[in-house]
């Protein structure tokens, strides 16, 4: 089969098309034919060799994808060849025509959801769900700020929070991004490049403050985030690309909690619960992943560049044989 492989860490051009053996499933495993593959920022950090966890070289990147079950191993009763599924993790990497997965990494893809949309579930939707509900404990009736509401995780968080009955404020860096955030369910939108964004957001709460902030760029925003929280407010720190200065007094005055998260730390039973909720949301139509750009699998390097550019508008996916 064809796969995009990394032989050495470096810039996007290290992603090269190679012919590799098609995986075969062992007990408790399955092979999924990939129809769409999700591209996430973390895959660019890993490819560059700057991420804390480095895979052994050479490797095939990717955790997220959607497609059709090709083959199941012994002891797999949950799925059969031909089933539509999405993947949240993979043993062999998803930037390929086929991916080897453990059964627990595979979830049903309802008929009303496209493969490209399925490729948005494994990382962005699971992260948004965990950040909002398992880490920040966001509750119906509370006000949430999705700080970075135009990208893969942000659009997912807007849909999830809106469906759960929160008042949703979102930010984006472009008019198109703000339009998108509003279309996905944000009650009010703001420009995260505007110097007075925090004053505007505080005003939108009539001075009471925000209960939960889902923060996608903490190195830029965390210090100011702490000044617009309500008493007992929580910040789910999901994205950060550097250091930031905070005034600890801002947390003391409001009994504020900072709750960092990395999706791979999620205990298996909580992860299973996340995907049960996500599949239900896909089935009932409250979750509708937004696809920003599609690239052929062979153009993974361009997709890696695109996912790090400003002006996110939903999810970037790769399509084999496009």
By CB under 6 A, name the binding residues for ligand NAP: 40-42, 123-124, 127, 147-148, 150-154, 171-174, 177, 192, 216-217, 220-221, 238-239, 261-263, 307, 310-312
Cβ neighbours of residue 208 closer than 8 Å, sequence gap 6 or more:
143, 230
Cβ 74 to ligand NAP shortest distance, Å: 33
Cβ 48 to ligand NAP shortest distance, Å: 12
Cβ 148 to ligand NAP shortest distance, Å: 3
Among candidate residues 55, 52, 50, the one with its CA nearest the CA of residue 6: 55
Among candidate residues 238, 240, 288, 303, the one with its CA nearest the CA of residue 61: 303
Give whichever of 69 and 319 is closer to ligand NAP, judged by the CB atom: 319
Q: How far apart are CA 264 and CA 46, in angstroms?
A: 14
Q: How far apart are CA 113 and CA 128, in angstroms?
A: 19
Give whichever of 93 and 239 is closer to ligand NAP, judged by the CB atom: 239
Cβ 153 to ligand NAP shortest distance, Å: 3
Cβ 236 to ligand NAP shortest distance, Å: 9
Q: Which two tokens stand for residue 43?
A: 């895959």
List helix spans (H) across 164-196. Answer: 175-183
Cβ 17 to ligand NAP shortest distance, Å: 24
Give whichever of 31 and 37 is closer to ligand NAP, judged by the CB atom: 37
Distance of CA 188 to the CA centre of its chain: 22
Cβ 76 to ligand NAP shortest distance, Å: 28
Q: Which two tokens stand for residue 166?
A: 């929160």
Q: Which two tokens stand for residue 76?
A: 């797999």
Give whichever of 140 and 310 is closer to ligand NAP, judged by the CB atom: 310
**Residue 191, beta-bridge partner list:** 172
**Structural contact between residues 93 and 12, judged by C-beta atoms closer than 8 angstroms:** no
Give whichever of 11 and 255 is closer to ligand NAP, judged by the CB atom: 11
**Structural contact between residues 58 and 23, judged by C-beta atoms closer than 8 angstroms:** no
Chain position carrying tokens 């789910």: 236
Residue with the shortest CB distance to ligand NAP: 151
Give whichever of 153 and 160 is closer to ligand NAP, judged by the CB atom: 153
Q: Residue 287: how many CA atoms within 13 Å on its side-chain side?
A: 30
Max Cα–Cα distance, the chain, nearest Å: 60
Give whichever of 25 and 292 is closer to ligand NAP, judged by the CB atom: 292
Q: How far apart are CA 155 and CA 193, in angstroms?
A: 18
Cβ 208 to ligand NAP shortest distance, Å: 22
Give whichever of 72 and 145 is closer to ligand NAP, judged by the CB atom: 145
């Amino acid at each position: 089969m064809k796969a995009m492989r990394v032989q050495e860490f470096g810039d996007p051009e290290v992603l090269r098309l190679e012919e590799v053996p098609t995986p075969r499933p062992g007990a408790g495993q399955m092979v999924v034919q990939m129809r769409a593959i999700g591209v996430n920022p973390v895959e660019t950090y890993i490819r560059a060799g700057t991420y804390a966890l480095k895979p052994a070289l050479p490797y095939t990147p990717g955790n997220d994808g959607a497609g059709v079950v090709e083959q199941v191993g012994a002891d797999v009763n949950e799925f059969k060849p031909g089933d539509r599924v999405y993947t949240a993790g993979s043993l062999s990497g998803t930037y390929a025509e086929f991916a080897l997965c453990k059964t627990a990494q595979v979830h049903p893809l309802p008929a009303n959801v496209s493969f490209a949309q399925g490729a948005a579930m494994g990382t962005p939707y699971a992260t948004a769900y965990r950040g909002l509900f398992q880490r920040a404990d966001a509750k119906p009736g509370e006000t949430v700020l999705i700080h970075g509401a135009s990208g893969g995780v942000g659009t997912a968080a807007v849909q999830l929070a809106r469906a759960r009955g929160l008042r949703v404020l979102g930010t984006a860096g472009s008019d198109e991004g703000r339009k998108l955030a509003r279309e996905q369910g944000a009650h009010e939108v703001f420009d995260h490049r505007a110097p007075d964004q925090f004053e505007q957001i505080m005003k939108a709460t009539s001075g009471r403050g925000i209960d939960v902030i889902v923060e996608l760029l903490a190195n830029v925003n965390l210090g100011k985030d702490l000044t617009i929280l309500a008493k007992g407010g929580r910040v789910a720190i999901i994205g950060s690309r550097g250091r930031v200065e905070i005034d600890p007094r801002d947390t003391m005055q409001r009994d504020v909690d900072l709750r960092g998260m990395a999706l791979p730390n999620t205990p298996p039973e909580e992860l299973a619960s996340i995907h049960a909720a996500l599949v239900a949301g896909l089935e009932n139509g409250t979750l509708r992943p937004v696809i920003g750009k599609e690239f052929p699998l062979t153009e993974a390097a361009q997709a890696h560049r695109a996912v790090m550019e400003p002006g996110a508008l939903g999810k970037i996916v790769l399509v084999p044989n496009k």
